[in-house]
């Protein structure tokens, strides 16, 4: 397994950042022709999503819908220090890890899927950990 780490600075409290090209570059540099690319976000108020980027309004819709499901002013028990319970719950719904195929030395995602880092309590500096396995 090869490990890599990306640092992604975010600029808003909530935003979706397309990280597909950065991850695909790591895959290409790894020299792995066929294998798996594991992606893990080591945070509890950020997450990963797979969706379309051709229309940027799709991910805005996803984040807006999450905010309606889990509003910032909702009733939560987690109120210590940071007052960000909505971000914790939204991150739990999205998840913080995914595995993708590597084929012909590149991510094999299909035509429309892109990989997004979802910032839910920014702005912060976020990490994306990447593990690449051959075979």
Closest to Zn ion by CB, 10 vs 84, is: 84
Cα–Cα nearest to 70, from 120, 113, 109, 117: 120
Name the minimum Å distance from CB 124 to Zn ion: 12
- The CA distance from 10 to 13, in Å, is 8
CB of 82 to Zn ion, least distance (A): 4
Chain contacts with Zn ion (rule: CB under 5 A): 82, 84
Nearest residue to the partner Zn ion, using Cβ: 82
Tell me which residue of 72, 126, 123 sits closest to 96, measured CA to CA: 126
What minimum distance in Å lies between the beta carbon of 121 and Zn ion?
8
CB nearer Zn ion, residue 34 or residue 82:
82
């Amino acid at each position: 397994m090869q490990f890599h780490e990306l640092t992604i600075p975010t600029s808003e409290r909530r935003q979706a950042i397309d990280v597909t090209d950065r991850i695909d570059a790591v895959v290409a540099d790894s020299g792995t022709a066929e294998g798996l690319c594991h992606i893990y976000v080591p945070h509890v108020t950020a997450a990963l999503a797979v969706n379309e980027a051709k229309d940027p309004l799709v991910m805005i819709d996803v984040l807006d819908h999450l905010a309606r499901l889990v509003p910032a002013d909702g009733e939560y028990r987690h109120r210590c220090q940071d007052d960000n319970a909505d971000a914790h719950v939204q991150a739990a719904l999205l998840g913080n890890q995914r595995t993708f195929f590597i084929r012909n030395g590149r991510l094999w995602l299909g035509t429309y899927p892109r990989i997004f880092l979802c910032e839910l309590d920014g702005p912060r500096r976020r990490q994306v950990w990447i593990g690449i396995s051959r075979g």
